[in-house]
Amino acid sequence: MTRLAIFDCDGTLVDSQANICRAVEEAFGSARLAPPPRNAIRRIVGLSLVEAMRTLLPGADPAQHVALADDYKAAFFRLRSSGTMAEEPLYDGMLDALEALRAGGWALGVATGKSDRGLTHVLTHHGIIDWFVTLQTADRHPSKPHPSMIETAMADAGASAAQTVMIGDTSYDMEMARAAGTRAVGVAWGYHPPEELIEAGAHIVVDHVALLVDMMEQQ
């Protein structure tokens, strides 16, 4: 039976908070709204865009949430196209960890709030897009913590819930894993603190990338 390791992207594989914060600030500016504080923006990383805007601006009507999501996508694309957006670096040690998991027989997947285009850009930039057997994004699924992304990833890989681990940095990832019946592994280097990951259902929280592979072999 296939062992499947599904990774969140932002805050787990790559550090993308600077770009996300800047695009949200530009989207709110385009709508003539005061931007949220950056600590609030970091907390919505991982949600689908409309759900993220609903969380950041709960008093607005649904049409404004959709408009803000569209403005965010336009701002992100404009910033990237202009060359003013920083590339999203892999966390230190992540490349080695992914290589070791593959060598150990794990199939790799991604479940992310990014778009197809955004995820493809990041993984291609780092030369690892072919390492993943399944890529699930917000373009084709309900927002986390709905289990749809994990369920589709397992079907793609031919893996059961018992042989699947979801690895992420937010409470949404942990709740999604629990909803899908998989192991939930939190990482402490992302955007939600370890205590929130545990409260959301994490079976374990890993403090450092270097410890990830050893922990996975215990699953």
Q: Residue 188 is encoded by which pair of tokens? A: 């402490």
Is 8 a residue of the active site?
A: yes
Which one, of 57, 55, 51, lies nearest residue 28 by Cα?
Answer: 57
Phi and psi dihedrals of 214, rounded to 5?
Answer: -60, -40
Concerning whether 10 is annotated as a catalytic residue, the answer is: yes
- Residues sharing a CB contact under 8 Å with residue 30, sequence separation 6 or more, in sequence order: 71, 74, 75
> How many angstroms separate the CA atoms of 36 and 60, rounded?
14
Tell me which of 8, 15, 71, 173 is the catalytic residue: 8
CA distance 212 to 197: 16
| 113 vs 134: CA distance, rounded Å | 15
Given the residues 10, 71, 169, 173, select the one marked as catalytic.
Answer: 10
Reference 44, options 198, 199, 202, 190; nearest CA is 190
Burial of 169: CB neighbours in 10 Å, binned 0-12, 13-18, 19+: buried
CA separation, residue 193 to residues 10, 77, 97, 190, 212 (Å): 15, 29, 22, 8, 17
Q: Are 97 and 212 in contact (CB under 8 A)?
A: yes
Residues that are catalytic:
8, 10
